[in-house]
Amino acid sequence: MAKLEVRRLAGALGAEIHGVDLGRDLDPALAHQIRNVFLEHQVIFFRDQELSPEQFLRFAQAMGQPVEYPFVQGLAGFPVIIAVKKLEHERTNFGGIWHSDTTYLEQPPMGSMLLAREVPPFGGDTLFASQTAAYEALSEGMRKLLDPLRAISSSAKADVSKTREDRIASDGRADARKDYVASHPVVRTHPETGRKALYVNVAHTVRFDGMTEEESTPLLEFLYRHQVKPEFTCRFAWRPGSLAFWDNRCAQHNPVNDYHGHRRVMHRITLAGDTPR
């Protein structure tokens, strides 16, 4: 069995794993080791993984069930792998806002994987924020207020919709204009660790279930500021062959858009999740 070296990136979440070649077949014991590190640190990173699409898909299958993304077509022959890219002439980056992936689905993804193919000469880092740390830092009174609430997520919020426009124009699915709406707990209990996490995000959450947008806005805006405080975050600088795997059930992410005039190309796989409880 490979000897894994785990290096924490920050206090709240994030760890780099060294000593494994993901291009080789993973035996069940090694896959279990990696999965445990993932559950502990919420987002894990690997360096120097020059994976073919077949190898990338095999690793994803060892971690979960890959599923298609609802707005962008996959690569030829690999419908579950999409290209996340910003080209030299583009000003908006795909998903360039704090979010947890596709919370507007009834069963949002368990996790997502991103593999760097081309990176700019500077910038293009991704920020991650622990929503368990954010929840646990709230007062007891605020936790009691939030615990029974539900919130409505939509795929049509303007700020996030505009981050998809370039990719829908170039690689959009035939049904890419469909709107998705779902109701989920504001505080989600992780189905594997049992820890509670905030489960609203500025990109997709519209309002609390049973309340108007006007009534919901003050508390939601407080939560949006709170859940990405620096002490809840880590930052990852990409190199070609870098791979990130994050837990959408308890972590948010935000790709930094600070490399205008340069190209950034990543491959992403989304892993099926369950109904939030």
**Residues 6 or more apart from 189 whose CB is under 8 A from it?**
195, 196, 277
Distance, in Å, from the CA atom of 99 to the CA atom of 96, rounded to the nearest integer, reads 9
Q: Is 24 in the active site?
A: no
Q: Which of 84, 112, 57 is nearest to 251 (CA)?
A: 112
Q: Is 101 in the active site?
A: yes
Q: Which of 167, 184, 204, 253 is catalytic?
A: 253
Distance, in Å, from the CA atom of 40 to the CA atom of 184, rounded to the nearest integer, reads 24
Q: Which of 117, 134, 153 is nearest to 238 (CA)?
A: 117
Q: Which of 167, 184, 267, 268 is catalytic?
A: 268
8 A C-beta contact, residue 107 and residue 65:
no
CA angle, residues 120, 61, 48, in degrees to nearest 5:
35
SS (H, E, C) 16-67: EEECCCCCCCCCHHHHHHHHHHHHHHCEEEECCCCCCHHHHHHHHHHHCCEE
Q: What is the DSSP string of 173-209?
A: -TTTT---EEEEESEEEPTTT--EEE---TTTEEEET
Q: Is 268 in the active site?
A: yes
Q: Which of 178, 219, 215 is nearest to 200 (CA)?
A: 219
Distance, in Å, from the CA atom of 33 to the CA atom of 110, rounded to the nearest integer, reads 18
Q: Which of 99, 184, 188, 207 is catalytic?
A: 99
Q: Is 177 in the active site?
A: no
Q: Which of 41, 101, 195, 264 is catalytic?
A: 101
Question: Which residues participate in catalysis according to the annotation?
Answer: 99, 101, 253, 268
